[in-house]
Structure 1
């Protein structure tokens, strides 16, 4: 199959904008740079969460460590003529490890007329410790191997609308409900691979959106449950595969769109990186959330629109 871009000039211009060094800070951000006065007992923080998030975002985009991020922020604010204090690297490290709720502003989706088509998948990210070469060459072992990243993608816009990071032992299906809790829009279709097959996934999706269509390939040896409701979606998938084959079932259910979430994972690893920089688990969660916010901003700058060519001469 061959595809051609229908918006190449706009896409090319957007790709150039991704590398732009032009930064701006709105008056609202300047006024909220300082942390609001707290009403409870304890010390008064100096910087707001927005100021910390801004510094961490710039450091992640430009591949800087915390000390270099501090210097980069100071130089940027000086060039912009803004008299704002810059969080030092110890403050950035401490505040990044602060547990926080998912930032819905980074993963929000503009409401439209219809429900969203959600694609879910998971992948692993390396953390500090003995590398793969040391393990193969010298037999080094590390108790801290990698983290598991779970994400939900909007199939129509390509944006990440929910994410969860767990340790390597967490099952894929166990994180469906935490992902759905972050999605405020109604779900029209939920698509995932065979690792999510099972009643808990179907029940979680239906609880979130009662009329949602769940598309998950059943196991090869799956059989219909005679005691189930005749409208049970999993039974319908099994019957359709047994009657017409798995390939036709994939075409009829648009299961091929699941490749979009795999592309999103590959985009994260190629742009942000395959290894987490933060040391603590809470800071790693913050790093991943900011990384996906960066990808959504880049996608808003440039997204290709491609159509399939009917023959090789097109």
Structure 2
């Protein structure tokens, strides 16, 4: 089934949403700021600060999210601290490399390999917009707009692989070809509604 196209009428809101995709918000808890290092100043000259495990795991999470190298991450975090006017220092990249082996952190990486089986399910979505506002304000009788969101997941890891939005009457079987095209991973079988199974060639 070909991918559905929808006409955009609220260009102002749509344009703002596209800009918001690039927005960056960083929030640090007060307790984290206070406890960033165990000692505010080293006891001896030249002695490095001792950073708590929370500081190490925080920057490692940022490394994973933004896909930065350790050196680039140091510049990135230092720039954030400067913009936020925080009296914090980023641990040296060499220290991060060493401490990463000792701290306990679980960062889920995208799964690769074959999916067996691929699970498909769909749910209805009610579309809100100008029409719905008119119904509430004026009580006019208006046909409600619905769409159907189809998602595929790896049954072993529960990882959501891809999703597709279609008209409300589209079945899982009809949405399957478009979903498979997005998957980009091999799968021998797809399961829908816990009962229907579709053999796949790719």
Query: Would you say same fold, with TM above 0.5?
Result: no
Higher alpha-carbon Rg: 2
Greater helix proportion: 1
Q: Using CA pairs below 8 Å that are at least 6 residues apart, which structure has the higher relative contact order?
A: 1
TM-score, normalised relative to structure 1: 0.30
TM-score, normalised relative to structure 2: 0.44
